[in-house]
Amino acid sequence: MKLNPRRWSLATRIIAGLLTGAAAGLVTELVAGPAPGVRWVVQNVTQPIGSVFLRVIFMVVIPLIFAAIVLGVAEMGDIRKLGKAGGRCLLVTVVFATISVGIGIGLVGALQPGSRLPPEKRAELVAQYGGAAAKDVATAQQKPGLTDALLNLIPTNPLNEAVNAFNPKHTGGGLLAFMIFSLFVGIAVAALPGEVGGALLGLCRSLFAVAMKIIDFAMRLAPICVACLGFSVTALLGPSILQTLGFYVLVVVGGLALHQFVTFSLALMRARKSPRQFFQQSREAIAMAFATASSNATLPVSLRVAEQNLGLPPRIARFVLTIGASANQNGTALYEGVTVLFLAQVFGVELTLAQQITVAVMCIIAGVGTAGVPGGSLPLVVSVLVSVGVPGEAIAIVLGVDRLLDMCRTTLNVTGDLVCAVIVARDEPPEPTTEAAPA
């Protein structure tokens, strides 16, 4: 039977593209070294082709963030109907996201996976992703202090912050301020009657759908672009970048595992639920999440698991899991925090305390606005990178392994939704039963 790559899944084609490009780059680096001809091919052929994918992602960052955050928050308007249950859902979501980001940032700070790249290779990397990168790093290190950074979170002109979201010389709140503005819009819409805010929600749903369709187009280009990006990186940096990337993958997976089996287990025990029993009852949804890398695609299975296996009240399970598919993205928040700090270390960017707090806040908020589909977190990772002076194009370094990590973090996201539902349902009264009328 002949192999037909066209029939392979997108994940398989992306991985195949990465392996092919990286292998070709390694052979080129070993045979030719950093020859002028190799640099010319990278700068004029493979790097531009790979950048097509990145530019399409850049193109939809601002509209996607606004629509996703407004929808993610506004659709929690049902909190008023669910009373205490809705409040607990929101609290658990924020607490889990904060813990996950803390775990990720703590592991990166302790293990320093991005600092393992030799200085000469780091210089090659900075040169590869644009001569302005070094200036961006210097600018990022001159950002305002903690007090000014906190004040800049409230934008006086949200449109100006959106326009300057990717400008490293901008001294305002930038993208984080625009995210805060979107957060306020979502809260205001949730507080308005349906007939008043419905038009804006409809517009945001359409805008979100269009942005996701554009990302879908970009993902179709991903196998070829990833192959070119993999070649560009390995042809100049050789095996050292693969070793550094391996440490990065281990840190992400280790952080996800720590949150999955320690944080969630402690939360379940507090909710008087056996962790072992929970994971056994939820294994179908967990396996589905890993296979599809999509919280939205796993939602039907999660609902059935919550109601039939975990025995949760349907109204609680449906509310928490439906909202959680987009709003409770623990794994994505952890992944984004690790990725941003890892790439900052790779590029030699020393983050101040204010910048680390900014990264943590942005990752927590981005967890609410991340689409529950494969690759949905890439635009938001790019936006956080730019906010700390790392070139957005640097995402290409981790792009090849993103699909594997996407499967892992989606598993954590779906598990977090089910844990949240168990906690919210703990103190809820049993569902009223309707007795059949006598014949």
* Strand intervals (E) in 293-334: none
Given this model, what pLDDT does residue 10 score? 67
- For residue 47, being part of any structural domain is answered with yes
Its pTM surpasses 0.75:
no
Decide which of 105 and 30 is more confident: 105
What tens digit of pLDDT does each residue of 77-88 get?
555 554 566 677
Show the domain range for 55.
10-425
Given this model, what pLDDT does residue 378 score? 66
- For residue 361, being part of any structural domain is answered with yes
Res 278 pLDDT > 90: yes
- For residue 154, being part of any structural domain is answered with yes
- For residue 5, being part of any structural domain is answered with no
Which of 326, 293, 267 lies closest to 96 in space, CA to CA? 267
Please report which confidence band the pLDDT of residue 268 belongs to, taking 50, 70 and 90 as the band edges: very high
Please report which confidence band the pLDDT of residue 267 belongs to, taking 50, 70 and 90 as the band edges: very high
Given this model, what pLDDT does residue 136 score? 43
Q: Going by C-beta distance under 8 Å and a sequence separation of 6 or more, which residues neighbour residue 90?
A: 76, 79
Given this model, what pLDDT does residue 437 score? 44
The rounded percent of the chain whose pLDDT value lies above 90 is 8
Q: Which range has the worst mean pLDDT, 21-35, 211-225, 373-387?
A: 373-387
Given this model, what pLDDT does residue 434 score? 44
What tens digit of pLDDT does each residue of 33-76 get?
667 777 788 778 887 887 777 677 667 778 877 887 787 667 65
Which of 58, 66, 69 lies closest to 158 in space, CA to CA? 66
Q: In which residue are the tokens 């589909």 written?
A: 373
CA distance 65 to 178: 9
The structural domain count of the chain equals: 1
The rounded percent of the chain whose pLDDT value lies above 70 is 71
CA distance 431 to 433: 6
Res 122 pLDDT > 60: yes
- For residue 100, being part of any structural domain is answered with yes
Which of 224, 259, 143, 238 lies closest to 399 in space, CA to CA? 224
Given this model, what pLDDT does residue 330 score? 82
Find the CATH number of the domain harbouring 412.
1.10.3860
CA distance 49 to 24: 16
> CB–CB of 112/343 below 8 Å?
no
Given this model, what pLDDT does residue 265 score? 94
The most confident of the ranges 131-135, 222-226, 294-298, 408-412 is 408-412
Given this model, what pLDDT does residue 206 score? 92
Given this model, what pLDDT does residue 348 score? 76
Q: Going by C-beta distance under 8 Å and a sequence separation of 6 or more, which residues neighbour residue 99?
A: 259, 263, 330
Decide which of 296 and 63 is more confident: 63
Given this model, what pLDDT does residue 168 score? 54
CA distance 220 to 190: 35
Mean pLDDT value across residues 410-421: 90
SS3 of residue 257 by DSSP: helix
SS3 of residue 222 by DSSP: helix
Res 24 pLDDT > 50: yes
Please report which confidence band the pLDDT of residue 5 belongs to, taking 50, 70 and 90 as the band edges: low
Res 396 pLDDT > 50: yes
CA distances from 396 to 108, 317, 362 (A): 19, 38, 21
- For residue 436, being part of any structural domain is answered with no
Res 385 pLDDT > 70: yes
Res 217 pLDDT > 90: no
Res 258 pLDDT > 90: yes
Q: Going by C-beta distance under 8 Å and a sequence separation of 6 or more, which residues neighbour residue 131?
A: none
Largest CA distance in the chain: 89
Alpha helices in 129-238 (DSSP H): 132-140, 146-151, 158-163, 174-191, 194-237
Average pLDDT over the chain, rounded to whole? 75
Q: Which two tokens stand for residue 152?
A: 């800049």
What tens digit of pLDDT does each residue of 327-336 get?
667 888 888 8
Q: Would you state the torsion angle of the CA atoms of residues 248, 177, 52, 370, taken in this order, to the nearest 10 degrees?
A: 60
CA distance 302 to 415: 9
Res 391 pLDDT > 50: yes
Mean pLDDT value across residues 99-120: 83
Which of 254, 427, 256 lies closest to 329 in space, CA to CA? 256
What tens digit of pLDDT does each residue of 332-375 get?
888 888 888 888 888 777 777 777 777 887 777 766 555 545 55
- For residue 3, being part of any structural domain is answered with no
Phi/psi of residue 170, each to 5°?
-70, 130
Mean pLDDT value across residues 268-273: 90
Decide which of 132 and 306 is more confident: 306
CA distance 218 to 48: 15
Given this model, what pLDDT does residue 418 score? 92
Which of 391, 341, 346, 396 lies closest to 363 in space, CA to CA? 341
CA distance 137 to 132: 9
Which of 373, 383, 404, 290 lies closest to 336 in space, CA to CA? 383
CA distance 174 to 269: 41
Mean pLDDT value across residues 216-222: 77
Distance from the first to the final alpha carbon of the chain: 63
Neighbours of 72 (CB within 10 A): 26
Res 324 pLDDT > 60: yes
> CB–CB of 126/133 below 8 Å?
yes
Please report which confidence band the pLDDT of residue 255 belongs to, taking 50, 70 and 90 as the band edges: very high
- For residue 435, being part of any structural domain is answered with no
> CB–CB of 347/126 below 8 Å?
yes
